[in-house]
Structure 1
Amino acid sequence: MKEIRIGIIGMGGMANVHMEHLAKIEGVSVAAICDANEEAVERAGDKLGISAGKRYTNFEAIIADRDVDAVLSITPNIVHHAIVKCCLRHGKPFMTEKPFTRTYEEAFDLYQLYEQNRIPSMVGFSYRYVPSFRYARDLIRAGKLGTVRHIFVQYLQSWGVAMVGTPMNWRYQSAMTGTGALGDLGSHMVDAARFIVGEISEVSAQMKTFIVNRPNPATGKEGTVDVDDFTGFLASLECGAAGVFQTSRNAYGSGNQLEVTVYGDLGTISVSCERGQELTWIQPQADAGDPAISVNGVHKVPEQYHITQMQDFVDMIRGHVREELPSLPDGYRNQEVLEAIHQAALQKRTVAPADVREQALAAGGIS
């Protein structure tokens, strides 16, 4: 088995999580690391035993390194576009974090490049690797719910609540992050809907910023928040189902609460990332003779639905690409929906993701 040599860009907390999973996979090593912060590179390099020549502060250098088979990019949103573009130009397989890019323009640019040079790619929609989400997807595809009528998705966190006192950081600045709760959490909601049920065809939306000013430790003054704390949207799906979505980083009492409920003619299935080993399936009681008599059952997820994101990434590099893997086109389509949501909120009207794409094509693409 050929050893897979990984280069990691970004030495933050999520990089440590991914490295822990990589360490459990046979035939994989971290060959090089990169971060704009030289001290972070040195600390990580000493811990991992990375040679001095494989410690980078320039992402272009690690991507061009011939001793690196693939790149994991775990960085703030502002550099997603530049890093993925560099990978595409070098033909270097990669995984980039979500949201795919800050803006739709950046996403469209990358998609055009990808169409010219398709390379193995992954976007970090990690909840595709929650076993209950994968199980729910298969049950729905197998027709266990009959015709899907509507879907409810919410992703709630509480770290933005006023009493927590979270100061200004890059997630509150549109120049760094694009949107707020929408891109941070809403991108996962959109992907969960696409993954479990199907494509979104149109949206109407509302976006709110609850706390406009937050203390900025860098300046000692108040900073201005110019992204959303909350986004809610209604959606129509291509399968004919309706959707209701809400996301907030100001939901007191919520931890990391991503929940999906799918309602069909033959029953209802609910899943949550906080209970990834089981799903709730409400269906008519067998032999009851009355469909109104239902069974609310908690079902353990079969072992076949257990796979880690890093295992899927490594398998992709080795040439085994599963149908469920979130690739660059998934990242692009996700950003297309996010842009439609953003436009719908700003313009107070219904917007179709397809219209977003048509506008970009009509404009002659993006250089």
Structure 2
Amino acid sequence: MSNYRIGLIGLGGMAHSHIRWIAEEGRYEVVAVSDVNEGALAEKGDELRIAPDRRYADFKQLIGDPDIDAVVSVTPNNVHAAIIRACLEAGKPFLAEKPFTRVFAEAAPLLALYEARPVRGMIGFSYRYTPAFRYARELVRAGKLGAVRSFSIQYLQGWGSALNDTPYLWRFNKDITGTGTLGDLGSHMIDLARFLFGEFKELSAQMRTLIPERRDPATGRMVPIEVDDFVSFQGVMSGDEAGVFQSSRNAVGSGNQHEVTIYGDAGTLHASTLDPERVVWTREEAPGRLARAVVEVPAYCKATQYGDFLSLLDGDAPDGLPGFMDGYRNQEVLDAVIRASGERRTVELQARPERARE
């Protein structure tokens, strides 16, 4: 089996996790890095023992390097589209962080390019690899909950709360991120719903900026905040499952609380990142008597993001791998949430023909 030479773009905080995940698989080697920060480039280059001529300030040079087999992109949102475009143009396989693009207007041209010249691509919806969510998907697909009537998904964090006096940083800059909580956490909620139930048919939404200004640590001045701190929406999925979604980075006491509760005719299932190896399953134990059980996730439901990326590079996309079209369709739903909130109306999403698996 082949080993793969990886070019890593973006050396900020999340890069540390990706470097660890890459190393754990045993069939990757990071041979090139790129970042606009010269200090980070030098520090991480030394740490990874990257040759000086493989430390690129310009990501396009890294993508064009013929000795790199695949690209991993871990950057802020404002360069997602340009990096994916460069990978498509170079025919270079890639794993790119979510959201797919900063705004939907950047996504449409990428779809046209991809359809003209497909490239093996994966989008970093890492919570598809939470064992509890994968087991929930298996139970839903096997009909163990009966007909699913409704569900709720939430993703709550507390780091942005007023209690923490969180300063202004790039995640609050609309020019960089496009949206706030919606693109950061809401994109994961949308992906989990699609992973479990298929496509969205329609939705209505509200987006709120809870803290209108934050202090810039560089200048000491208060900066107006133009992105959302809170988002909620209601959606109807392709099988008529009704869903309620809530996300905030201002939820005091929530660390990384991403969870789903699924209500079916034969029972209720709860899965959460707070207990990723188990699900809570409520079902009929005997006629008229319900039982609530905490169930361990079976081994066959466990997989890793970089294990699936290996399979993709080997030429086989496993079921459930978040590919290029998952990123694009996620961006369509993000755009629908923005329009539904801004126009105070229900937005319908157009059904699209299925493509061959990426």
TM-score relative to the length of structure 2: 0.96
Distance in 1 (alpha carbons) for counterparts of 2:146 and 2:109: 39
Cross-structure match for 2:338: 342
- 1:194 aligns to 2:190 (yes or no): no
Residue 209 of structure 1, CA deviation:
0.3
Distance in 2 (alpha carbons) for counterparts of 1:162 and 1:263: 34
**Aligned 8 A contact 1:339 1:353 in 2:** no
Q: Give the alignment partner of residue 289 of structure 1, picking from 283, 287, 290.
A: 287
Cross-structure match for 2:355: none
* Deviation per residue, 1:298-337 (Å, 9 max, x gap): 1100111221111111221111210210011000100101
**Aligned 8 A contact 2:198 2:237 in 1:** yes
Distance in 2 (alpha carbons) for counterparts of 1:206 and 1:83: 31
- 1:300 aligns to 2:296 (yes or no): yes
Letter in 1 for 2:322: P
Distance in 2 (alpha carbons) for counterparts of 1:328 and 1:5: 21
List structure 1 segments (4+ residues) > 6 angstroms apart after TM superposition.
Answer: none
- 1:34 aligns to 2:30 (yes or no): no
Aligned 1:217-228 pairs, distance under 5 A: 217-228=217-228
Aligned 1:322-341 pairs, distance under 5 A: 322-341=318-337
Unaligned runs of 5+ in 2: 353-358
Distance in 1 (alpha carbons) for counterparts of 2:284 and 2:233: 31
Distance in 1 (alpha carbons) for counterparts of 2:331 and 2:27: 34
Aligned 1:39-118 pairs, distance under 5 A: 39-118=39-118
Distance in 2 (alpha carbons) for counterparts of 1:320 and 1:21: 20
Residue 168 of structure 1, CA deviation:
0.8
Letter in 2 for 1:338: L
Letter in 1 for 2:320: E
Residue 217 of structure 1, CA deviation:
1.8
Quote the RMSD (CA, aligned, Å): 1.1
Distance in 2 (alpha carbons) for counterparts of 1:159 and 1:196: 28
Distance in 1 (alpha carbons) for counterparts of 2:204 and 2:287: 40
**Aligned 8 A contact 2:163 2:252 in 1:** no
Distance in 1 (alpha carbons) for counterparts of 2:95 and 2:22: 13
Aligned 1:237-316 pairs, distance under 5 A: 237-285=237-285, 288-290=286-288, 293-316=289-312
Residue 349 of structure 1, CA deviation:
0.4
Cross-structure match for 2:348: 352
Unaligned runs of 5+ in 1: 358-367
Letter in 1 for 2:307: Q
Cross-structure match for 2:356: none
Residue 241 of structure 1, CA deviation:
1.1
* Deviation per residue, 1:220-247 (Å, 9 max, x gap): 2111110000001111111011111000
Letter in 2 for 1:85: R
SS in 2 for 1:307: coil
Cross-structure match for 1:361: none
Residue 219 of structure 1, CA deviation:
2.6
Distance in 2 (alpha carbons) for counterparts of 1:228 and 1:261: 24
* Deviation per residue, 1:47-83 (Å, 9 max, x gap): 1111111111100000000111000000000000000
Cross-structure match for 2:153: 153
SS in 1 for 2:347: coil
Distance in 2 (alpha carbons) for counterparts of 1:18 and 1:308: 12
Residue 12 of structure 1, CA deviation:
1.2
Mean CA deviation greater in 183-192 or 299-308: 299-308
* Deviation per residue, 1:74-127 (Å, 9 max, x gap): 000000000000000000000111111111111112111111111110101000
Cross-structure match for 1:164: 164
* Matched pairs, number: 352
Residue 26 of structure 1, CA deviation:
2.6
Letter in 2 for 1:308: T
TM-score relative to the length of structure 1: 0.94
- 1:10 aligns to 2:10 (yes or no): yes
**Aligned 8 A contact 1:204 1:348 in 2:** yes
- 1:317 aligns to 2:287 (yes or no): no
- 1:207 aligns to 2:203 (yes or no): no
Residue 38 of structure 1, CA deviation:
1.2
Residue 13 of structure 1, CA deviation:
1.8
Letter in 2 for 1:344: A
Distance in 1 (alpha carbons) for counterparts of 2:36 and 2:66: 21
**Aligned 8 A contact 1:22 1:311 in 2:** no
Residue 218 of structure 1, CA deviation:
2.6
* Deviation per residue, 1:322-356 (Å, 9 max, x gap): 0210011000100101111110000000001229x
**Aligned 8 A contact 2:340 2:347 in 1:** yes
